[in-house]
Amino acid sequence: MVKNLVIVESPAKAKTIEKFLGKDFTVLSSFGHVRDLSKKDLSVDIEKGFIPNYEISADKKKTVSELKKKAKEAEMVWLATDEDREGEAISWHLVEALQIDEKKTKRIVFHEITKNAILEAIENPRSIDHHLVDAQQARRVLDRLVGYELSPVLWKKVKPALSAGRVQSVAVRLIVEREDEIKSFVTDSAFRVTAVFEVPGKSPVSILNAELNKRFKTADEAKKFLLKCATAGFKVDTVEKKPASKSPAPPFTTSTLQQEASRKLGYSVAKTMMVAQQLYESGHITYMRTDSVNLSSLALSMAKKVIEKNYGENYIKTRQFVTKSKSAQEAHEAIRPTYLDRQEISGDNSQKRLYELIWKRTIASQMAEAKLEKTNIIISISTTSESFVARGEVITFDGFLKVYLESTDDEDAEVQKGMLPTVTKGDQLQRKEILAVERFTQPPPRYTEASLVKKMEELGIGRPSTYAPTISTIQKREYVVKEDRQGEDRNYTYLELLDKTVKEEIKTEKTRFEKSKLFPTDIGTVVNNFLVEYFVKILDYSFTADVEIQFDEIARGEKAWSEMIKDFYTPFHVTVENTLATSKKQSGERLLGVDPESGKNIYAKIGRYGPIVQIGETTDEDKPKFAGMKKGQSIETINLDEAIDLFKLPREVGTYEDEPLVVALGRFGPYVRHVNKFFSLEKTDDPMSITAERAIELIDKKRLKDKENTISEFPEDDTLKVLKGRYGAYISQGKNNFRIPKGKVAEELTYEDCLAIIEAAPTKKGFKKK
């Protein structure tokens, strides 16, 4: 018999809270939302005023029936879901789905998971805020209407199975537009002059690095300047010293954790979230999906103690940070270690590293500012009015820097400034080296997963729980790809002042190497340009912010949610209809030139399965010929010769065991086919030039691997095998696979055993997914 049933969203939270409440309380979790709009169709009755058709989510049926049973027994149901729009809605959906009388419920909220906070929450219950629930329903219905009306437009006008939505389409837009900026960027260059001076009369030799206070547009100007320096004297003109200080960054939110883990540990956002989830479940950190930088009073006092013990009292500075982001809903604390006195934890390497990062960031946020002394030394040149400047920085008190320094996205950041030698006004300096090197302006950087999340957060698009899934969706739809791309060679002019002359050299450097950056694909570009043209409003960077203002009005009870949705939907739906009626099929088609063999046009465009090249017109009586593109090729960059090459596939490269070896491009990349078996080429193999020897090598390698994975084979049926797979042994027959029942040993299975298992296996059709 349950007296009081408390329902929270997360099972880990339930476990913790149960310890704080006496035995009169049972704490269970809903595992997030329990009901949603049906996936099958729109599930919004537009005619009747946008009535949503909710159903219990397939994976929540069990949870709901258990909660329902317990709720029935309980005298009181305490709805303790998160204090935000979604949390309020979850509470309401629970009341509906569990069919409890709302009078038998109390709504409670707490910001930190401490005994006091929870007991206080129990003392101050309220009822469900139906205005807030309505704001969530508006959000949900708007997203459904946008997603389920826009996506089918893409199926008709671009390619089946594509998707569009309020969040993902804007994320793609950011990447496509950044690429456009990079393409249209005009590189400019100027000569940066640097000098190395020796301060005379010091032992050991004292060196001063300085930079000229201006840059020269041309090599001639730079050369002229260097020649002036040849005969010049250099003198310390002024020495300026300024104190400065640096403050620590606030503790982690989901977005900043993803950014720092990406920069410092090289984790993808998905990996960061996976590891953080493990840390959360093992009780090491607080909740990892949050937009709040707030720390509980308990955490603040713990931090103070730890800092005092480890670093001393003068390193303490207790701070409460305020969340800047407007979209923040602050249902949780910042991400921090549960026990700040634990600097290290047990776990695997990924967990240890992420935990360490979180620990340092949290502790540093409660530490004193670093004190610096910045020094500028201005060096005059006797033959000209320009001057050199040497900048130095000395840490006089390290403060939080003892523990942690936030990294930046800026890849071209200056090298760290160091200490400068002591000089005084009037000192003569000896020139050791003066260089003028041509430097180039940089186009804006491409997004990484983490810098895209940062941008999305700034725009208020997406939530902590959706950043990682959204980034995976836009890659799964093949709108963007994450990859490394080599920089290109670029020449620059290098001028060095010798004794009385200037040495000029042309040197070569690589342009920026792009590591794990997001690039738009052809499909991403075509879809984005189409959506931006026809659905300006949805694709506008401020669309989400605009609707959020209205959701807030609904939450305050100033507006009915169905009215807001009606105002949005009526013109939106007209646009959808007009677009379907008037827009052409979007293929991104580009004419590459004329095929010398047939005299027909060759085009690059998007086909049903991705980018293709085409010889001839689709309107011709003769069917045009098609060929898929290789990885790395794109409609925009492919040239005529490369396109003609693609039609050379499939090609026979030789024979093996008296059977032909055929190389071609498939859905999953280049392969060699041999007796109806496919063998993937490796990254370094080029389908255009691969030899029979290499193809045979690949085949033998694959055969050996298959053999190693084979546990048993049977003379009765050569399509039937017992194999070793990722998840253990299984039975394979032709294209079907079957699991081996528990208690049977794979190695001992006979042919008859296998047949019996296959016979007993549930048929695929009867096994409906979800």
CA distance 357 to 361: 6
**Cα torsion through 465, 470, 476, 479, rounded to 10:** -170
Q: Assess 738 for contact with DNA (CB under 7 A).
A: yes
- To DNA, the closest distance from the beta carbon of 587 in angstroms equals 9
Q: What is the maximal distance between C-alpha atoms in the chain?
A: 99
CA distance 4 to 25: 5
- To DNA, the closest distance from the beta carbon of 329 in angstroms equals 6
Structure tokens at 329: 């809903």
Q: ∠341-403-399 over CA atoms, to 5°?
A: 110
User: Facing residues of 603 across strands?
Assistant: 591, 614
Spot the catalytic one: 54, 267, 287, 534: 287
CA distance 249 to 400: 10
* Candidate list 55, 211, 281, 496; residue touching DNA; CB under 7 A: 281
- To DNA, the closest distance from the beta carbon of 32 in angstroms equals 2
Q: Which x/- pattern, by CB under 7 A, does the window 534-573 give for DNA?
A: ----------------------------------------
**For 707-730, what is the HEC assignment?**
HHCEEEECCCCCCEEEEEECCEEE
Q: How long is the chain?
A: 770
Go through 708-720 and write b for each residue having 16 or more CB atoms within 10 A of its CB, e for each that does not: eeeebebeeeeeb
Cis, bond preceding 762 (omega within 30 deg of 0): no
Q: Assess 612 for contact with DNA (CB under 7 A).
A: yes
* Candidate list 24, 45, 49, 59; residue touching DNA; CB under 7 A: 59
- To DNA, the closest distance from the beta carbon of 557 in angstroms equals 21
- Tell me if 306 sits within 8 A of 340, measured CB to CB: yes
Footprint on residues 474-503 left by DNA (CB under 7 A): 477
Footprint on residues 319-348 left by DNA (CB under 7 A): 329
Footprint on residues 701-730 left by DNA (CB under 7 A): 723, 725-730
* Binding window for DNA (CB under 7 A); candidates: 337-345, 400-408, 422-430, 736-744: 736-744
* Binding window for DNA (CB under 7 A); candidates: 97-105, 311-319, 334-342, 607-615: 607-615
CA distance 46 to 698: 58
- To DNA, the closest distance from the beta carbon of 416 in angstroms equals 38
Q: Assess 52 for contact with DNA (CB under 7 A).
A: no
Q: Which helix (H) or strand (E) holds 150?
A: helix 130-157
Q: Give the three-state DSSP class for 72.
A: helix
Q: How many residues touch DNA (CB under 7 A)?
A: 91
* Phi, psi for 618 (deg, rounded to 5): -70, -20
Footprint on residues 405-464 left by DNA (CB under 7 A): 462-464
Footprint on residues 655-684 left by DNA (CB under 7 A): 662, 664-669, 671, 673, 676, 678-680
609 is catalytic: no
Q: Assess 37 for contact with DNA (CB under 7 A).
A: yes
Structure tokens at 159: 């390619």
* Phi, psi for 285 (deg, rounded to 5): -130, 165
* Candidate list 52, 421, 443, 607; residue touching DNA; CB under 7 A: 607
Q: Give the three-state DSSP class for 669.
A: strand
* Candidate list 253, 366, 470, 633; residue touching DNA; CB under 7 A: 470
CA distance 177 to 164: 17
Footprint on residues 368-397 left by DNA (CB under 7 A): none
- To DNA, the closest distance from the beta carbon of 462 in angstroms equals 4
Footprint on residues 129-158 left by DNA (CB under 7 A): 139-140, 143-144, 146-148, 151-152, 155
Q: Assess 41 for contact with DNA (CB under 7 A).
A: yes
* Candidate list 277, 325, 442, 634; residue touching DNA; CB under 7 A: 277
CA distance 646 to 688: 8
* Candidate list 23, 103, 242, 608; residue touching DNA; CB under 7 A: 608
For DNA, give the closer residue by CB, 488 or 700: 700
> What residues are labeled active site?
287
